[in-house]
Structure formats: C-alpha cells, structure tokens
Amino acid sequence: MADEHTYFVRPVSGVWHVTWNEAPDLIGSYPAQPEAVGVAEMLARHMRSQGKTARVSVAEPEVRRASWGRAGLGAQAAA
C-alpha cells in the first residue's frame, strides 16, 4: 500500500465532496467548504500520526451565477 495520501476537497453541484487519492469512493459530502476542509485535514493528520505522508488539495469554488435575472432581461430587450 502506498504511503502517500492525498485528500481532495472539490465543489460539486453546490456541496463540497471529500475524496481520497483519486478514488471514485466519496468520503463525505458537506454543505460548506470549511467543514469539508476540516474533515480532510483531520484525516491527513491521522495518516501523518501513522508515519505516512498526507496532504490536502482544495479546489477553487465553482463560479455560480444567478439564472433568474437573465430570462427577464431577454424578454424586456425583445419588447
């Protein structure tokens, strides 16, 4: 088994997923980034206490735009 562990924190559809070493298995899904990063850091500390290397990789938040304003603007411009 590899002694290197990477925990990934990524935004997916409005929630934050924590995964491990690019595995398809989901460790957890959290509503806020700080909560997800905290879980990943805790897991990384646990691996380090066992003498293994571990790091946490945090992705940038998704850029989200409100869609409610665009539909009305298009209808007004056509009128």
Prediction pTM value = 0.72
pLDDT along the chain (79 residues), means of 10: 83 92 90 95 95 93 64 54
Q: Are 7 and 27 in contact (CB under 8 A)?
A: yes
pLDDT at 9: 95
Do residues 54 and 7 make contact, with C-beta atoms less than 8 angstroms apart?
yes
So where are the chain's domains?
A: 4-62
- In CATH terms, is domain 4-62 a member of 3.40.50? no
H or E, element range at 30: strand 26-30
Give the distance between the most distant pair of CA atoms in the chain: 68
